[in-house]
Amino acid sequence: MDIQLTDVKKVFNQGRHNEFWAIRGISLRIKANSVTCLKGASGSGKTTLLSMIGCLSRPSSGRIMLGERMLSGLPERFLTDIRRHTFGFIFQRFNLIQGLTVLENVMLPAYPLAPRHTTLRDSANRLLEHFGLGRVKDSPVQWLSGGESQRVAICRALINDPQILLADEPTANLDTGISREFMGLVEDLRQSGKTILITSHDPIVFESSAVQSVVEMSDGHLVKA
């Protein structure tokens, strides 16, 4: 399913002295089964746009369509439902829950869907094995290296088998080698049929051959589409 944005705007603290327009009218189509990179400097509005596409927040105006379905304007309950079934998130600082094991972190997004415990554990174990994390699955996440944490975050994003993966500055805390490795994983995921949207200002990401489309942003506008 393609994602279609039409004149999307986002304002924070509207009507107050510190009113701030983070997104100033963006229209954009993101193709299904592709890797798209939102490129731009800090404060350009990449993360805000990503969070609106991923139903983490709503646009102040404009429309966001997922296939035939309009996401903007849906109440929170529906947004949560779409979020948990359609989107998988990989955050900049990985946002793993400290103190929990790798396996528990990966299983976390599936808890509200309440699948059978054995089914869930098996899926999580398969993912962890696939990403080479089988031996650390019972370790607390704070013991992991940056690259391992990144892969745990990917496993967590994939546990509910979402169609679309959203990654916010996924290589910001990684060295060059691990960043390239990450882009290799992204290509594998695209080949398995996923749509991937990445925000980044890291050349390793937007110059990668895994990326089909680069969208540049500046001050809440599109520079090039």
Binding site for other proteins (CB under 8 A): 47-48, 50-51, 56-58, 76-77, 80, 83-85, 89, 91-92, 95, 97-100, 104, 108-109, 111-117, 156, 160, 168
Contact 34, 212 (CB under 8 A): yes
Contact 171, 93 (CB under 8 A): no
Q: Minimal distance in Å, beta carbon 111 to other proteins?
A: 4
Torsion angle of the four alpha carbons 5, 8, 13, 15, in this order, in degrees rounded to the nearest 10: -160
Q: Minimal distance in Å, beta carbon 49 to other proteins?
A: 11
104 vs 187 by CB, closer to other proteins: 104
Q: Minimal distance in Å, beta carbon 100 to other proteins?
A: 6
Contact 64, 8 (CB under 8 A): yes
91 vs 147 by CB, closer to other proteins: 91
Q: Minimal distance in Å, beta carbon 104 to other proteins?
A: 7
89 vs 182 by CB, closer to other proteins: 89
Residue-wise over 157-182: b if at least 16 C-beta within 10 A, else e?
bbbbebbbbbbbbbbeebeeebbebb
48 vs 179 by CB, closer to other proteins: 48
CA 23 to chain centre: 18
Q: Minimal distance in Å, beta carbon 99 to other proteins?
A: 4
20 vs 177 by CB, closer to other proteins: 20
Contact 55, 82 (CB under 8 A): yes
